[in-house]
Homo-oligomer: A and B are copies of this chain.
Amino acid sequence: MDTPALVIEKRKLDANIQKMADIARTKKVHLRPHTKTHKNPKIAKLQLEAGAAGITVAKVAEAEVMAEHGIDDIFIAYPLVSEIKIQKAIDLSRKIRLITAFDSLEGIQKLSQSAETAGVVLEVRMEIDSGLRRTGVLYDEAVELARKAKELPGIKLTGIYTFRGPILDGKPTLDIEEAGRQEGQLMADLAERLRAEGVPITDVSVGSTSTSASAAEVEGITEIRPGTYVFYDRMQEKYHCCLHEECAAAIHVTVVSKPSDSLLIVDGGSKTFATDVQPGQSPIFLEGFGEIIGHPEMLLERLTEEHGMVAVHGETNVQIGDVLQVIPNHICSTVNLHNDVFLKNEDGTLEKQAVLGRGKVQ
């Protein structure tokens, strides 16, 4: 196998899939994994076989790829506001169960108009901002928006959803259990208020690998949408969402140069390792751009596009031509950089799989 290459250990992948399926089963919620992490219909099918009720995607183009490969229950957890995307979603909704999303009056009006014109009824969920400050209707404005949405033709408002991650009282936190409970409680309470207003909410969906398990314990939560758990990564390990040995994906890189005893250069840079989760950021303070397995004396300190600069503290017998394995800081954005990944079976054989959903940004 040439390098750089993203290698996934099948045994760990299977165990991670099973673990989250068991959590959902035990806590009696649906599991609808976010496939942004792997972007791979084959892995999505493993998740479905283990008990997932459907999948989540962020983009219409990702939904199209997944549907083309036989997946028939998809939630696009992203507000659709442009005509092109809405038309594509309508087309897709004629073939599979497709759930779309909105977080504004403009958004739901457009969905409604286009659906009515097309003669379909779109199943929709309302996104709630539960503290991340990105998309999602503000919590206090949700009842008013839902009341208006309920009256519109061409849509059927069945649920609410949020994505929050490890945030507690509006601030990043390492206390993911309490963060999850707060997320769950906010959403369960809101669902009750909406029902009291005559909006028949059946699906109450919460997100993220870090908070799913504890959010699912809150009475009234019906669905979790974790994504990263399928592989885990260095960030999740720092959040104590996984053990080190559960990290299933690593980048294999080759040492191409050794300018001095304290510096090695490897053949992966910022076009191989995602840079969205930077070193030194609160609250997890990762060191470097990835963990070099088995080499605590090494730090992947600096990246240019095609080079990784590894600082060596102390002695090493690593030489030019040797291969190092690196657990990336953030696996979702890292997978997105790769055209292919390699599934490594227990017998050591490698299976090359195209990342069919990568680059499907629209």
**A interface residues (Cβ-Cβ under 8 A, vs B):** 2-5, 36, 58-59, 78-79, 81-82, 84-85, 103-104, 106-107, 110, 129, 132-138, 254-260, 263, 265, 267-268, 270-272, 274-276, 278, 303-307, 309, 319-321, 332-333, 336-339, 358-362
Contact = CB atoms under 8 A, between A and B. Distances in A.
Given A256-B135, A333-B271, A358 B359 contact: yes
Given A259-B136, A270-B274, A304-B134, A81 B321 contact: yes
Nearest to A254: B82
Given A82-B254, A333-B270, A359-B358, A305 B320 contact: no
A309 B268 CA distance: 29
Contacts of A305: 36, 58, 276, 332-333
B265 A135 contact: yes
A263 B133 contact: yes
Contacts of A320: 81, 104, 106-107
24 contacts: A4-B361, A36-B305, A36-B306, A58-B305, A58-B306, A59-B306, A79-B256, A104-B257, A104-B320, A106-B319, A107-B257, A134-B304, A134-B307, A135-B256, A135-B307, A271-B336, A274-B275, A275-B275, A275-B276, A276-B303, A305-B332, A305-B333, A338-B359, A358-B359
Contact of A256 (B81, B129, B360): B81
A168 to B, nearest CB: 18
A308 to B, nearest CB: 9
Contacts of A257: 79, 103-104, 107, 134-136
Contacts of A137: 259
A100 to B, nearest CB: 12
Given A133-B263, A309-B133, A85 B304 contact: no
Given A257-B135, A276-B275, A305-B58, A336 B337 contact: yes
A204 to B, nearest CB: 21
A202 B275 CA distance: 39
A361 B272 contact: yes
B265 A276 contact: no
A254 B358 contact: no
Given A110-B321, A132-B304, A271-B361, 13 more contacts: A3-B362, A59-B306, A78-B256, A79-B257, A81-B320, A82-B321, A107-B320, A134-B304, A134-B307, A135-B256, A135-B257, A275-B278, A358-B359
Contacts of A133: 259, 263, 309
Contacts of A304: 132, 134
A265 B135 CA distance: 6
Nearest to A340: B359
Contacts of A58: 305-306
B2 A134 contact: no
Nearest to A323: B82
Contacts of A79: 256-257
**Which of A81, A85, A136 gathers most chain B CB within 10 Å?**
A81
